[in-house]
Amino acid sequence: MPVSAEDRAKLVSLARSAVGAAVKGLPLPKGEDAGGLLAETRGCFVTLTNRGQLRGCIGTFRPDRPLGQMVVQMGAAAARDSRFVTNPVTAGELDQLQIEVSVLSPLSETTEPEKLQVGKHGIYVVRGQWAGCFLPEVAVDMGWNAEQFLSQCCSHKAGLPPNAWRMPGTTVYLFTSEKFDH
């Protein structure tokens, strides 16, 4: 079911408030008083960019609370993304940040990952303690076909050999995502 314009606005506002609070060291917004979609237990990602440059992207497939609360948690975590520990998001750039929220479908295990639909499906690859994911738009943005998408996720996100998605003992999940910003 598509995310309504009202829910989109609420989720982006929650994410923006959480990012600002995290950067300024203030208490996080609650995100508890919402009903509808925001009360559902759904996976999500929050992505921060500044002038087209990634500044943070954190999410979860295994939510343990309602979507509104998960967006707050992921927004705060994205503001402190460990990839940017030496160049963290600052209070001075908050007004320049583009904040995108991706609401995820449930994961669906596949035995034929090479048949994923580029641009429609995101992937989550798991092998033992190693795991990595890409949101659906990554393959399109990079110009990858399905096999390149899977191989890049294995090697660059999960720390596995590029062909690990073909190996017994590796599980590949597909999901869809509805992404939006302010």
Structure token pair of residue 59: 């999410």
Question: Is there a contact between 156 and 132 (Cβ–Cβ < 8 Å)?
Answer: yes
CATH number at residue 152: 3.30.1490.150
Look at residue 23 and tell me whether its pLDDT is greater than 90.
Answer: yes
Where in the sequence is the domain holding 55, given as residue range(s)?
5-104
User: What's the length of the chain?
Assistant: 182
Question: Is there a contact between 24 and 91 (Cβ–Cβ < 8 Å)?
Answer: yes
Dist CA 90 CA 158 (whole Å): 29
* pLDDT score of 47: 95
> Which residue from 142, 163, 144 is spatially nearest to 154, judged by alpha carbons?
163
Could you report the per-residue pLDDT of 39-88, keeping only the tens digit for each? Answer: 899 999 999 999 999 999 999 988 999 999 999 999 999 999 999 999 99
Q: End of a domain among 61, 89, 104? A: 104
Tell me if the pTM is above 0.85.
Answer: yes
Could you report the per-residue pLDDT of 79-93, keeping only the tens digit for each? Answer: 999 999 999 999 999
- Banded pLDDT at 36 (limits 50, 70, 90): confident
Dist CA 111 CA 105 (whole Å): 18
What average pLDDT does range 109-119 have in this prediction? Answer: 97
CATH number at residue 20: 3.30.700.20
- Banded pLDDT at 95 (limits 50, 70, 90): very high
Dihedral sign, Cα of residue 16, residue 20, residue 23, residue 29: negative
Is there a single domain that holds both residue 93 and residue 115? Answer: no
Dist CA 116 CA 113 (whole Å): 6
Is there a single domain that holds both residue 24 and residue 63? Answer: yes
Is there a single domain that holds both residue 96 and residue 129? Answer: no
Query: Could you tell me if residue 182 is inside a domain?
Result: no
